[in-house]
């Protein structure tokens, strides 16, 4: 691991200042992604800004009448176990306890989790594998490699790396917003606009400007919360990244779907909202047939590679099962 | 860029709100690893010391200067000679290095030691009672043959104790879900689940 300068920030404002004076620095919260990638030599920051001492970012409040507010340094395990989330927003709670292990969830922050980097083995593996995300312009070893876990949606000829997180997928389904502090002050952006498509620059992963830090995550209070689930399908039942997942929330009226929210995880280059599939359900009865139709509609634009074609049907069935689970909660 | 002592020892009225702890030169360490030496200007000019840290391990306070790259696992094993926590994968994927920090289970391989300032670490070495008696979880692992080679066992036991304290050991299904971060290549899982079920009852009575 490369040497680095250590900076300890005591406030979000400190962190922004430190990023301004050390433009190549990385923020470190739980460290479960960054420190791991530093060990692999994939991340080589000349400076680390330790933000764990910023008390103002650690709190969360799920009791508000208009929105749920989560400090970006709240830890995944604490938020997952919040009684209001478990009861009224099961998709959010599940998207925080189905990832990783309890050890990692005790460490990992919400902000860091949202910014978690891909698990693409060619990205993590380093030399001799080409990776446009790791070394811009070097190529993509995954295109002709083992792509069983790679993305079906949002890919480009330069990158097919899957966005691996769960929580951000549920956040996108619930129209969550990020508060971001930067050198020019505070701004708010929808979580859906945080991650970029890889396009020609897979190394540019987010729309955060230099020197910006996520301070809060806000979820609008909604009646869709209760009939929701984060359904996650993996190679093993626990402690694995998603082969496909779906965050789903519903409101039903007279046996028919009034509103539906569907977001996909594990199958796209970013947290993926499936609006066409949502709209196709509105006004219809929810049966396994209409649910499956919505599932396949969500994958209409999927592009398969060599080994990942099976995940179109798997993904469609994940959406369908998630819809049926959510409907039982309404 | 300035160099400062440990922020926790700074008086409260200090108005420099960004504390910078320089890397200090760990030239000796990195020079041995990198065949091509870095340009001279990349080397900070400070003395080879490290980040000063004060923390408690198994009830005993330590004050050390640590290379900021060091993991808590390496610090425990290589500098404090506490070799109970094991290095399995070194990437947070196996759970063999599980310890408690401020009472919560974490993987020590992915916890940079620089995060330990002012915190309390508990490892498998601290479990035994003063009279040498085993913790109920240790005894339960023996009673249920919850190990074969034993390499993952210290991590399993530390994770298991936390699992009970969190209230996540109420059923075999819940134990399996909340112990899934600890892999056992020998496949002693049935014994591990049974041991945790037994110890959970005893820990709740205690």
Q: Strands A228-233 and B18-21, how do they pair?
A: unpaired
What local confidence, expressed as pLDDT, does residue B21 receive? 45
Predicted local confidence at residue A235, as pLDDT: 97
Q: Is a pLDDT exceeding 60 seen at residue A166?
A: yes
pLDDT band with cut points at 50, 70 and 90 for residue B121: very high
Mean pLDDT of the region A247-260: 96
- The reported pLDDT for the residue numbered B49 is 67
pLDDT level of residue B12 (50, 70, 90 thresholds): very low
Q: How much of chain B, in percent, has pLDDT values that exceed 90?
A: 75
Domains of chain B, first to last: 7-36+44-126 (3.10.20.30), 136-205 (1.10.150.120)
| pLDDT grade for B204, boundaries at 50, 70 and 90 | confident
Q: Please name the residues between 218 and 237 in chain A that touch chain B, using a CB distance below 8 Å.
A: 237
Predicted confidence at residue B8, as pLDDT, reads 39
Pairing of strands A26-28, A47-50: parallel
Question: Cα A200 to chain center, whole Å?
Answer: 21
Inter-chain contacts counted by CB atoms under 8 A, chains A and B: 108
Q: Mean pLDDT throughout B122-151?
A: 97
The ipTM, to two decimals, is 0.96
Is the pLDDT confidence value at A265 over 60? Answer: yes
Mean pLDDT of chain B: 83
Tell me, yes or no, if A31 comes closer than 8 A to chain B by beta carbon: yes
A326 in Cβ contact with A180 (< 8 Å): no
Q: Which of A199, A203, A200, A179 is nearest to A189 (CA)?
A: A179
A106–B105 C-beta distance less than 8 A: yes
pLDDT, tens digit (0-9, with 9 covering 90-100), for B172-193: 999 999 999 999 999 999 999 9
Please state, in angstroms and rounded to a whole number, the distance separating the CA atoms of residues B171 and B187.
20
- From A21, which residue of chain B is nearest by alpha-carbon distance? B1
- Do the chains contact at B20 and A50, CB–CB below 8 Å? no
At B46 the pLDDT is 40
With a cut of 80, say whether residue B26 has pLDDT above it: no
Question: Residue A168: which of A274, A237, A270 has the closest Cα?
Answer: A270
Asked if B180's CB is within 8 angstroms of A5's CB, the reply is no
A44 in contact with chain B, both atoms CB, cutoff 8 A: no
pLDDT band at B205 (very low <50, low <70, confident <90, very high): confident
Segment A312-319 mean pLDDT? 98
The verdict on A56 touching B (C-beta cutoff 8 Å) is no
What mean pLDDT value characterizes chain A? 97
Edge-to-edge, what's the strand order for the sheet holding A26-28? A26-28, A47-50, A5-9, B18-21
**What are the pLDDT digits (tens) for B71-110?**
999 999 999 999 999 999 999 999 999 999 999 999 999 9
**Residue range A269-299, pLDDT digits in tens:** 999 999 999 999 999 999 999 999 999 999 9
**How many H helices and E strands in chain A?**
12, 12
Contacts of A14 in chain B (CB under 8 A): 17-18
Question: Is B4's Cβ below 8 Å from some Cβ in A?
Answer: no
pLDDT class of A106 with cuts at 50, 70, 90 = very high
For domain A228-328, say whether CATH 3.30.390.50 is its number. Answer: yes
Taking 50 as the threshold, does the pLDDT of residue B33 lie above it? no
Instruction: State whether B23 and A5 contact (CB < 8 Å).
Output: yes
Spans of all domains in chain A: 228-328
Q: pTM to 2 decimals?
A: 0.91
Strands (E), chain A: 5-9, 26-28, 47-50, 60-61, 67-71, 177-182, 185-190, 213-220, 228-233, 244-253, 256-265, 272-273
Q: Are B110 and A10 an interchain contact pair (Cβ–Cβ within 8 Å)?
A: no
**Residue A240: Cβ within 10 Å count:** 16
Instruction: Encode pLDDT of A76-89 as tens digits.
Output: 999 999 999 999 99
User: At residue B47, does pLDDT exceed 70?
Assistant: no
Pairing of strands B51-57, B120-122: parallel
Please report residues of B whose CB lies closer than 8 A to that of A2. Answer: 30
Nearest Cβ partner for A239 among B19, B26, B180: B180
pLDDT tens for A195-247 read 999 999 999 999 999 999 999 999 999 999 999 999 999 999 999 999 999 99
Amino acid B10: pLDDT: 38
Could you give the C-alpha distances from A195 to A69, A111, A147, A190, B171, in angstroms and in order? 20, 13, 21, 10, 39
Closest among A211, A250, A215 to A229, alpha carbons compared: A250
């Amino acid at each position: 691991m490369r040497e680095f300068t250590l900076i300890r920030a005591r406030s979000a404002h400190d962190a922004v200042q430190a990023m301004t004076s050390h433009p190549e620095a990385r923020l470190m919260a739980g460290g479960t992604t960054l420190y791991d990638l530093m060990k692999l030599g994939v991340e080589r920051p000349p400076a680390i800004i330790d933000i764990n001492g910023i008390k103002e970012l650690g709190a969360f409040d799920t009791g508000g009448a208009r929105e749920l507010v989560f400090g970006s340094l709240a830890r995944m395990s604490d938020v997952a176990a919040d009684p209001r989330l478990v009861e009224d927003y099961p998709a959010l709670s599940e998207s925080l306890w189905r990832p990783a292990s309890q050890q990692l969830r005790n460490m990992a922050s919400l902000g860091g989790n949202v910014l978690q980097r891909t698990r693409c083995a060619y990205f993590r593996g380093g030399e001799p594998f080409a990776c446009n995300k790791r070394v811009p312009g070097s190529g993509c070893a995954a295109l002709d490699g083992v792509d069983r876990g790679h993305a079906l949606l949002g890919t480009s000829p330069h990158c097919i790396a899957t966005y691996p997180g769960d929580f951000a997928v549920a956040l996108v389904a619930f129209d969550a917003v990020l508060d971001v502090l930067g050198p020019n002050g505070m701004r708010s952006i929808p979580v859906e606009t945080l991650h970029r498509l890889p396009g020609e620059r897979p190394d540019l992963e987010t729309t955060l400007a230099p020197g910006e830090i996520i301070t809060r995550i806000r979820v609008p209070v909604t009646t869709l919360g209760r009939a929701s689930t984060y359904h996650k399908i993996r190679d093993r039942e626990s402690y694995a990244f998603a082969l496909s997942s779906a965050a789903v929330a519903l409101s039903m009226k007279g046996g028919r779907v009034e509103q539906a929210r569907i977001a996909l995880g594990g199958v796209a280059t970013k947290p993926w909202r499936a609006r066409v599939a949502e709209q196709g359900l509105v006004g219809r009865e929810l049966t396994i047939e209409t649910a499956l139709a919505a599932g396949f509609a969500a994958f209409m634009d999927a592009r398969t590679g060599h080994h990942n074609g099976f995940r179109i049907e798997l993904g469609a069935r994940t959406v369908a099962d998630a819809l049926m689970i959510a409907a039982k909660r309404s | 860029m300035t160099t400062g002592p440990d922020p926790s020892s700074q008086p409260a009225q200090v108005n420099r709100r960004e504390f910078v702890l320089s890397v200090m030169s760990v030239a000796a360490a990195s020079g041995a690893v990198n065949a091509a030496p870095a340009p001279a200007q990349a080397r900070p000019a400070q003395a080879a010391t490290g980040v000063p840290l004060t923390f408690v391990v198994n009830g005993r306070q330590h004050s050390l200067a640590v290379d900021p790259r060091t993991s808590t696992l390496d610090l425990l094993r290589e500098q404090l000679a506490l070799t109970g926590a094991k290095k399995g994968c070194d990437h947070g994927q196996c759970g063999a290095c599980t310890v408690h920090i401020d009472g919560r289970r974490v993987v020590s391989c992915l916890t940079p030691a620089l995060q330990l300032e002012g915190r309390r670490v508990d490892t498998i070495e601290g479990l035994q009672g003063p009279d040498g008696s085993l913790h109920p979880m240790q005894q339960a692992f023996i009673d249920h043959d919850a190990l074969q080679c034993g390499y993952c066992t210290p991590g399993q036991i530390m994770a298991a104790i936390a699992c009970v304290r969190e209230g996540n050991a109420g059923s075999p299904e819940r134990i399996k879900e909340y112990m899934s971060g600890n892999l056992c290549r020998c496949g002693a899982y049935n014994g591990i689940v049974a041991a945790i079920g037994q110890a959970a009852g005893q820990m709740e009575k205690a």
